[in-house]
């Protein structure tokens, strides 16, 4: 398999695709279909992406994952019940794993705040296992 050289990717070229209002509106449209864990992971990636401290290599991986999440035509079509977002979640988790060293508590806190805004029934307990995986990866690197 050919390795992608992330150093030659012009991240700023793609930055316009992830302006906060545009991205959040697009993500909100898929919120109810995707499920809270997918959306939460996407939000963490988004807040990492807009953070100036996140390195370009990580931003390139994040941009790819967020783009895949928002595009309705992918490996498993999103309209298929239950499994439609499985591939999206896998891509998002892969990007989180790749960029784990860049994750900050602030990214998590911003994601939690947005989730509470979008989901009346959101509880941090719902994503605690995901947080433990994400932040364990960070500690390992």
Q: Model's pTM, two decimal places?
A: 0.69
> Which residues fall within 8 angstroms of residue 27, CB to CB, at 6 or more apart?
39, 42, 43, 46, 69, 70
Q: In this structure, are residues 17 and 67 in contact, taking their beta carbons and an 8 Å threshold?
A: yes
| CA distances (Å), origin 55, targets 51, 58, 110 | 9, 5, 19
pLDDT in tens, the chain (141 residues): 344 444 555 555 555 556 666 666 666 665 555 578 888 999 999 999 999 999 999 999 999 888 887 776 655 555 554 556 667 778 888 899 889 889 999 999 999 999 898 888 888 887 888 788 777 755 665
In the chain, where the domains are located: 12-140
């Amino acid at each position: 398999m050919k390795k992608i050289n992330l150093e030659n990717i012009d991240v700023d070229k793609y930055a316009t695709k992830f302006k906060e209002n545009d991205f959040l509106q697009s993500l909100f449209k898929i919120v109810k279909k995707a499920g809270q864990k997918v959306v939460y992971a996407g939000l963490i990636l988004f807040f990492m992406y807009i953070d100036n401290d996140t390195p370009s290599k990580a931003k390139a991986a994040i941009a790819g994952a967020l783009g895949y999440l928002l595009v309705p035509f992918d490996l498993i079509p999103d309209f298929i019940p239950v499994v439609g977002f499985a591939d999206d979640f896998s891509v998002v988790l892969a990007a989180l794993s790749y960029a784990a060293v860049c994750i900050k508590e602030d990214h998590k806190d911003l994601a939690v705040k947005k989730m509470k805004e979008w989901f009346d029934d959101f509880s941090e307990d719902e994503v605690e296992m995901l947080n433990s995986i994400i932040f364990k990866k960070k500690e390992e690197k």
